[in-house]
Each structure stands twice: as structure tokens, then as C-alpha cells.
Amino acid sequence: MSTPKDLKFSETDEWIKVKGNSALIGITDFAQSQLSDIVYIEYELDVDDDFEKDETVATIESVKAAADIHAPVSGTILEINEALIDNPEHLNEDPYGSWLFKISIDDPSEVDALMDAETYDRFCEDRGN
């Protein structure tokens, strides 16, 4: 799967797609392939909750492991994708089309500091993928 060029990426394998002042957050194709079949998602935050960069915002469980999802930037939750609660497998099927949170961003410079698609692909290769 090719890595979308319009997204930015964290070292903990989350993606962020910025649209004006708000953004969508999800997990990368690498993350879902490492986890394998995802069976459960638990949102740690509610709408209007503030969070710091790197804070755990959700937990995802697959048949292999449980993984914390970290906020790639600081901000506030605007919307939660509740459809994923009943159909977490969407994260496997379409990782870049399945967002977890819609957020507002506190500090746009935090987005600039994240990796672009090319850098992220190299980052994944270096980890032996």
C-alpha cells in the first residue's frame, strides 16, 4: 500500500491529516500490519477533552497484542469515530481511510515537526519491514 503524500506521520505510527484548523488522526498501514487482525478499540478520551502530544488517546487490541495510540500533536477532541467500535477491522482494511479522532490543533509547528510520507517509509524500512 502506498503511503499517502498529504499525511504526516509520528514515530509511534500514527498519521495526521490537516484540514485548516482541524485534523484527522489514524494509524498507519505499517501499524495495522504489525498488529494483524484488530478486534477491539477503546477510546480513552471524549469530545472536548484536551490532550498533550504523545498522550495515550486510545488503546487498540488485536489477536496478537494490545497497543496504545499516542496523540501525534497536542489539541482538543472534536469528534470520535464511533463506527470503529463495532467495526474495528476497518483499521486493517483501510488504515488511511479510517480515522479515530477529529481534533483541533493547538500548535501547528508540532505538525511541521512530524515525518512526511517519504521519511516515514524509510523509517519503516529501517525497522526491518
Partner 1 sequence: MAEPTIYEISSSGRTGFQFHKPDVPCAEIPAELKRDELPFPEVSEVDVIRHFTRLSQLNYAIDLGIYPLGSCTMKYNPRINEEMARLPGFAMTHPLQPLDTIQGNLALIYQLQEWLKEISGFAGVTLQPAAGAQGEFVGGLIMRAYHRSHNDLKRTKILVPDSAHGTNPATSSMSGFEVVNVPSDSRGNIDLEKLKAICDDCVAGLMLTNPNTLGLFEEHLQEVIDIIHQKGGLVYGDGANFNALLGVIKPGEVGFDIMHFNLHKTFSTPHGGGGPGSGPVAVSKKLVDFLPAPIVGIIEEGNDETPPLYGFITPETSIGRMKAFYGNFGILVRAFTYIAMHGATGLRKIAENAVLNANYLKMLLGNAYNIPYNRKCMHEFVAEGFWNDAPGIHALDVAKRMMDYGVHPPTNYFPLIVKEALMIEPTETESKQEIEHFAEILKTIAQEAHHSPDLLHTAPHHTPIGRLDEVKAAKDLVLCCWIPPEE
Please report, as ranges, the residues that interact with partner 1 according to CB under 8 A: 36-37, 39-40, 61, 63-66, 89, 128
Q: Provide the minimum distance between the beta carbon of 64 and partner 1 in the complex, in angstroms, as a whole number.
A: 4
- Report phi then psi at 26, rounded to 5: -150, -170
As a three-state string, the secondary structure of 73-129 is CCEEEEEECCHHHHCCCHHHHCCCCCCCEEEEECCHHHHHCCECHHHHHHHHHHCCC
Q: Provide the minimum distance between the beta carbon of 74 and partner 1 in the complex, in angstroms, as a whole number.
A: 19
List the one residue out of 32, 24, 30 whose CA is nearest residue 79: 24
HSE on the CB side for 38, CA within 13 Å? 27
Q: Provide the minimum distance between the beta carbon of 37 and partner 1 in the complex, in angstroms, as a whole number.
A: 5
By C-beta, is 16 or 38 nearer to partner 1?
A: 38
Q: Provide the minimum distance between the beta carbon of 66 and partner 1 in the complex, in angstroms, as a whole number.
A: 8
By C-beta, is 66 or 83 nearer to partner 1?
A: 66
By C-beta, is 3 or 92 nearer to partner 1?
A: 92
By C-beta, is 12 or 74 nearer to partner 1?
A: 12
